[in-house]
């Protein structure tokens, strides 16, 4: 742990970051910016894992490993999502969420 | 006030300011660059906590990989000078109210919960510890999620190639 910084300060930072991500997820229309909001959310959850590991259970590395796995899952999710976005752009010439329901058939 | 504390508040301010700017800016390329700054500041927090490997993973995978992927997809799908319209007022109200109510409840819970900060000896996150635990099969071994995530990454790679591949049939309008 870091001397002089209580755990609550870290948790408040990650909470605010999480809800900024949620807010961006709701107010944005463009698929890529929605993806960026999801990255913000995943990143704040990662901070939480690492902080709980370092402050509450420093004799283990569990939170550290789960944060690494979350980073890997985020990479997989981003690559598949961007492939989908590029495919949608080829079909619709536009990547706003309102138009994606045209893919239904 | 020690230097650690100053750096913590600097990184926290960077994270909050740039994540806010990343979701409010009207130019998409700037949003991606602000996201990059957020991720770098997060790596700085990991360095402060002495998880050097985690910080390196954050810098290479997130700041190096995902942001470059996002910027490439922006360049493929947008004009540089494209500006977003302002969001709908109902969506704006809904998003801001969800964020304010949710963060209020969560911060209240955090501030009232009695966290018991542990004082046992820290296990240093050296490469040796990480390597033996990541591939260990006994207690505190993480070989099963490691293998699962390797299968997931392979599946995601195959899926991304198949989805993004151009269709070859003659009837397609591309």
CATH number of A16's domain = 1.10.287.3510
pLDDT at B163 exceeding the cut of 60: yes
Is residue B13 over pLDDT 80?
A: yes
In 3D, which of B37, B167, B126, B71 has the Cα closest to residue A82? Answer: B71
How many folded domains does chain A comprise? 1
In a domain, A69, yes or no: yes
Contacts of A33 in chain B (CB under 8 A): 23, 28, 31, 84
Residue A42 maps to a domain: yes
**CATH number of B3-123, picked from 1.20.120.1200, 2.60.120.260, 1.20.970.10, 1.10.290.10:** 1.20.120.1200
Residues, chain A: 105
Q: State the pLDDT confidence band at B169, using cuts at 50, 70 and 90.
A: low
Which range among A39-43, A96-100, B95-99 shows the weakest confidence by mean pLDDT?
A96-100
Residue A1 lies in a domain: no
Q: Which residue of B has its CA nearest to A26?
A: B95
Nearest chain A residue to B132 by CA distance is A61
Give A42's contacts in chain B (Cβ within 8 Å): none
Interface touch A83/B19, C-beta < 8 Å:
no
A2 inside domain = no
User: What is the model's pTM?
Assistant: 0.89
Residues near A63 by beta carbon (within 8 Å), at least 6 away in sequence: A49, A50, A51, A52, A53, A54, A57
pLDDT confidence of residue A94: 78
> A79 and B45 in contact by Cβ < 8 A?
no
User: A22 and B98: CB-CB below 8 Å?
Assistant: yes
In the predicted model, is pLDDT for residue A57 greater than 90? Answer: no
For A20, which of B19, B39, B160 is closest by C-beta distance?
B19
A99 min Cα distance to partner chain B (Å): 15
Chain A, nearest residue to B59 by Cα: A71
Residue of B nearest to A25 (CA): B95
Domain of residue A39: give its range.
7-93
Placement of tokens 């409840």 in the chain: B105
Q: Is residue A12 part of a domain?
A: yes
* A18 interaction partners in chain B (CB closer than 8 Å): 103, 106
Contacts of A51 in chain B (CB under 8 A): 49
A71: closest CA of chain B, how far (Å) = 7
Instruction: Using alpha carbons, select from B76, B173, B171 the residue that is nearest to residue B68.
Output: B76
Q: If pLDDT is split at 50, 70 and 90, which confidence band does B55 have? A: very high
The neighbouring-strand residues paired with B153 are: none
* pLDDT score for B171: 59
Q: Can you tell me whether residue A68 is helix, strand or coil?
A: helix
CB-CB under 8 Å, A17 with B133: no
Task: Tell me the pLDDT band of B173, cut-offs 50, 70 and 90.
Answer: low
**A36 neighbors A20 (Cβ within 8 angstroms):** no
Q: Is the pLDDT score of B174 beyond 60? A: no
| pLDDT band with cut points at 50, 70 and 90 for residue A1 | low
Give me the pLDDT at residue B84, please: 79
Is A104 a domain residue?
no
Residues of chain A in contact with residue B28, where contact means CB-CB under 8 angstroms, are 30, 32-33
Establish, for the pair of chains A and B, how many residue pairs have beta carbons separated by less than 8 Å: 231
Q: What pLDDT is recorded for position A105?
A: 57
Q: What is the pLDDT of residues B62-121, one digit of tens each?
A: 888 899 999 988 888 877 777 777 778 888 899 899 999 999 999 999 999 988 887 777
Say what the pLDDT of residue A15 is. 93
Confidence of residue A12 (pLDDT cuts 50, 70, 90): very high
* Alpha-helix runs per DSSP H in A3-105: 7-27, 31-56, 62-92
């Amino acid at each position: 742990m870091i001397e002089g910084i209580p755990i609550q300060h870290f948790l408040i930072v990650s909470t605010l970051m999480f809800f900024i991500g949620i807010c961006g997820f709701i107010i944005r229309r463009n698929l890529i910016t929605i993806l960026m909001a999801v990255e913000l959310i995943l990143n704040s959850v990662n901070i939480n894992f690492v902080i709980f590991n370092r402050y509450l259970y420093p004799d283990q590395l569990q939170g550290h490993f789960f944060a690494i796995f979350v980073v890997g899952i985020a990479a997989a999710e981003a690559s598949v999502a961007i492939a989908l976005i590029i495919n949608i752009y080829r079909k619709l010439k536009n990547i706003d969420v309102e138009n994606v329901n045209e893919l239904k058939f | 006030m020690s230097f650690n504390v100053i750096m913590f508040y600097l990184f926290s301010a960077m994270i909050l300011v740039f994540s806010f700017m990343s979701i409010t800016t009207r130019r998409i390329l700037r949003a991606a660059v602000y996201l990059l700054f957020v991720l770098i500041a997060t790596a700085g927090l990991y360095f402060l906590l002495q998880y050097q490997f985690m910080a390196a993973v954050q810098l290479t995978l997130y700041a190096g990989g995902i942001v470059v992927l996002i910027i490439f997809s922006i360049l493929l799908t947008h004009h540089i000078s494209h500006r977003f319209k302002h969001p709908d007022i109902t969506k704006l109200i809904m998003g801001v109210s969800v964020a304010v109510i949710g963060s209020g409840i969560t911060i209240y819970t955090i501030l009232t919960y009695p966290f018991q900060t542990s004082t046992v000896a820290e296990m240093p996150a050296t490469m040796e510890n990480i390597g033996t635990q990541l591939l260990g099969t006994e207690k505190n071994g993480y070989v099963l999620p490691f293998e699962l995530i390797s299968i997931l990454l392979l599946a995601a790679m195959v899926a991304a190639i198949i989805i993004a591949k151009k269709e070859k049939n003659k009837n397609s309008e591309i």
